[in-house]
Every structure is written in structure tokens, then in C-alpha cells.
Amino acid sequence: MQELHNMSLQGLALAIKNRTVSARETSEHFLARAKAHASLKPALNPLQTADHLTPATTSCGAFVSFNEEFTLNLADQSDQRISKGQARSLEGVPIAHKDIFVTRDFPTTAGSKMLEGYCSPFDATVVSLLQQEGMINLGKLNCDEFAMGSSNENSAWGPVKNPWDVSRVAGGSSGGSAAAVALRLCPAATGTDTGGSIRQPASFCGVTGIKPTYGRASRYGMIAYASSLDQAGPMAQSAEDCALLLSAMCGPDLDRDSTSLDVPKEDFSRHLNDSIQGLRIGLPKEFFSDGLHADVRTCIDLALDEFKALGAQLVPIELPKTELSIPVYYILAPAEASSNLSRFDGVKFGFRAKAYKDLDDLYRKTRTEGFGEEVKKRIMIGTYVLSHGYYDAYYLQAQKIRRMISNDFQEAFKTCDVIAGPVTPQVAWKLGEQINDPVANYLADIFTLPASLAGLPAMSIPCGFGASSMPVGLQMIGNYFQESKLLNAAHQFQLSTDWHKKALRGTT
């Protein structure tokens, strides 16, 4: 039998259902792998009863918490269901969650000291939905603090290192999710994407990830960064696996998320095997400009040739406001963040400073000591652009340009069915390389921000290796509610290429 950690979700679910392997053995297998790549501090794990873990020096720092007793208990329940013939669609298949989703049975920190040891009284909707399909929660995954960052160096629990080269970043903010899937520490993971936080780390680590149309996955229990942009999505080894997960994760949650769309659940796997003969793939000229590194460009061009060979047509398109998406995003997201993060005041939950003289001092000291540097900077930017006298010039103007960016996409979709291009201008950079140059970091988000601002579904699929043999991802953007078309194209690509199967040494 194929190693458990290299099996598809469907294969794994079938093996468990047929009792070739038990759900418990499966969870134990993945837990053992995952523990070697933890970034754990004992204090972080009030629920951890047994062995506190010391991160190994070879650890990529992908996991931040486990609750082994809970995980194995869930797995046992899956085995019981199977023996009674009550298996659900993904019964016994493990999944790990980005530490931005609140969970009742694991601490949730959002990568911040502000939430050290925090335990939520409830599970995020996305977490519950996956559990309702029989999936087993394996643990929580490292991320940039409050999902703010593109390198995963902003986590209070240390960076996630890129499994392909541990001197490089894993990308962010869902860096732990991408690294964990790349290392086959879990068969699948959840991530969240505000400005590229699923696609960029997926690209950097050589895994597949998708964000759905804004509003399709519930934001209930997802710690808010920028509410008009945040979307949950799956990260896994293939488009086929992502389709299964996304089908489980999406659906209306009308009473709990005011921006949840009243759109029925959908089976995103149903078009996977359709032919893509005649599919019109739009290539935005702005995505192939001078800023794109040659090694990445080569991989993208080869991937596009492959699509042509599969019968797709390549159509030149324009997204003229692409460059403006950087200032627009970095005004709107911090503005929303400054409001969302005002709840962290040291009163009802989470961290509180030790010494303070009055209530105002309690707020200030708690926030000053609890938040990391990047988070503080974004709160400052957000506070400024929303403040009296600057609101119209910055926030309102950015919201107007946001509409122009969205309109540009609608114009482009008149001549194409999906849009393709690079996820990032370059492969994963070295740890520490851009930490003191945040503007450079922001500029690197140029190709993921437009789809985020427009709320469009978008994904990253592995399409080769660039400089220093680092993975490169192909970005595909669909029109609203066209997730199944995106996944169809991605799946057909993955049937005729094996980039998504190129595994790290030691994982085969």
C-alpha cells in the first residue's frame, strides 16, 4: 500500500472505510510526523496533558498546538462509526487548522502573544463543517500574527521555515498550513486568504490552495483581520483534494456571519473531469511585466503551453489598475484591522500587562506588550487613514479604486473564462531578508491583491521549480462562483503534469 501521507483524501477515506487502516492508526501516523515540526511552548498548551514538546532543531515550526487525547478520541469515534456502517464522506481523515480559526479543544492564538493560552468557548463554522464530514482535527498551524504578513516571520511563536530550503520563508500568512501539507504532516489544512495568504504560501511550498468567492465560507470563528477581504479555504496536495474540502467548507451561515452569502452548498468536484477544450484563459499583461523574475516566468510559460496542449486558448487581457491594488489593499486592510483589533484590550480574554496604574494604562500597556511590530504598524496605518481629515483622501478614495479594480475584472471576463498568471514575482526569499523592508514585502503581493480586493475565487497550483530549485505556483482566478471551473482546469492540468506530486525528500 502507498504510504498514508502520500495518499489522496479520497484514497485515504476509502482505506479507512474499508478498514485497511484504522482512523486511529491514521491519526497516530500523522501526529508522529507533525510533532517533529512543532513550534511549541509549553505555556501555549494548557490543554496538552502529556508530553510537552521541545521543538527539534530540524523543525519547520509548522504546528503550534496539539491535543493528542482529543484527536485520538475523535479517531476512535470514527472507527466506531465505520464499524456500524455510518461512515461520513471524509470519516477518519485528519486535517489541521490554521491557528486563526477558533477551536474549543485546542488553544487559539492567531500567532500572537495577545492570545497566548486563549481557549475559545466554540468552534469556528469551518472547523465544525469539516468535523461533520468525519474529519479529525490534528492540531493548529502556525501563521503570521493575526494573519498579517507574507512570510510567516511575524508569528510570536517563531517563523515557519520553508521545507524545500529551511533558510527560506514558507510564505504567509498561512505558512504553517503550506509547510505542513508540503511535508505531508497532515493530508490537508485550512488557511485564510485576505490578500494572498493561501495562494502565496501554497506557491512558495509547492502545494495546492484555493480561496473561494468572498462570502461563500463563513467567517464565524475566524479571527478577523480585514473583514471585507478575509476568506477561508483549503490547502492540500491536489486540486481534487481541495475540491472535496471546499465543498465541505462552503455554505450559508446566515445567522452567524452578516456577510455570508445566501448561496446553496455546491459540489465543487462535479466538473473536475470535464474537458477544458476551448477554455479561454486570460493573461493579464500587467502580470507579465518587468517585475516578474525570469525563472518564475519560464515556469508560468511552460504551464500555459501545457494548457494550450490540453485545448485551452490563451487570450491577452488587461487589468490596468493592478499596481494600484498595493496602496488600495494596504489602506483598506489596515483600516479594517485597526477597528477589528480594538477588541484586544486586556479585559475579557487573552493577555493583560502585569503592571498598570489605571484603566487607560491597562489598555495601552496590554496592547503595547501584546502586539508584535507589524500588527502595531498596521493598526497605526489604519487609525491614521480613518482619522478626521484623512478619511476621504485615503480610505474613501481606496474604496472607490477598489470598485474600479473589480470592474476591470468584469471587463476582462467578457473575453475569457479564467485568468492565469504568476502568484508572486519571485520564489520564496531568505528568512530575514525583507524583515526591515516592509514596503518590499508589500510590493511582493502585487499579483494576489487584485483578486482579493474584487472578492474573486483564486487558487495556486504547483507548476515547476525556479531559482534555487524552489517551487513556483501558477495562479488561476475565476469569476464569482466559478470555483468549480477553476478546479476543473487545475485538475486537468494536474492529470497531465506531476508538479504537485514532486515531494520533498523524506516524504515519499
Closest CA to 96 of 143, 46, 44, 50: 143
Binding mask 362-401 for other proteins (x = CB under 8 A): xxxx-xx--x----xx-xxx-xx--x-----xx-xxxxxx
Q: Are 485 and 419 in contact (CB under 8 A)?
A: no
Q: How far apart are CA 39 and CA 454, in angstroms?
A: 35
Residue 128 touching other proteins (CB under 8 A): no
Residues numbered 184-213 forming contacts with other proteins, rule: CB under 8 A:
213
Q: Which is nearer to other proteins, 63 or 220 (CB)?
A: 220
Known catalytic residue at 285: no
Contacts of 3 (CB under 8 A, 6+ apart): 508
Residue 352 touching other proteins (CB under 8 A): yes
Q: Are strands 458-465 and 208-211 parallel, antiparallel or unpaired?
A: antiparallel
Residues numbered 239-298 forming contacts with other proteins, rule: CB under 8 A:
254-255, 258-259, 261
Q: Tell me the backbone φ, ψ of residue 206, rounded to 5 degrees.
A: 75, 35
Q: How near is the Cβ of 422 to other proteins at its closest, in Å?
A: 20
Member of 278, 309, 357, 498 binding other proteins (CB under 8 A): 357
Known catalytic residue at 78: no
Q: How far apart are CA 30 and CA 334, in angstroms?
A: 37
Residues numbered 400-429 forming contacts with other proteins, rule: CB under 8 A:
400-404, 406-407, 410
Q: Helix, strand, or coil here: 212?
A: coil
Q: Are 485 and 478 in contact (CB under 8 A)?
A: yes
The active-site residue out of 35, 41, 98, 161 is: 98
Max Cα-Cα span within the chain: 70
Q: How far apart are CA 482 and CA 288, in angstroms?
A: 24
The active-site residue out of 112, 197, 218, 338 is: 197
Binding mask 292-331 for other proteins (x = CB under 8 A): -------------------------------xx-xxx-xx
From the CB of residue 6, how many other CB atoms can be counted at a distance below 10 Å? 15
455: alpha, beta or left, given left = phi > 0 and alpha = psi -120 to 50? left
Member of 157, 204, 214, 225 binding other proteins (CB under 8 A): 214
* Stretch in the footprint of other proteins (CB under 8 A) among 92-100, 427-435, 437-445, 461-469: 437-445
Q: Which is nearer to other proteins, 109 or 492 (CB)?
A: 109
Residues numbered 468-497 forming contacts with other proteins, rule: CB under 8 A:
480
Known catalytic residue at 98: yes
Residues labelled catalytic: 98, 173, 197
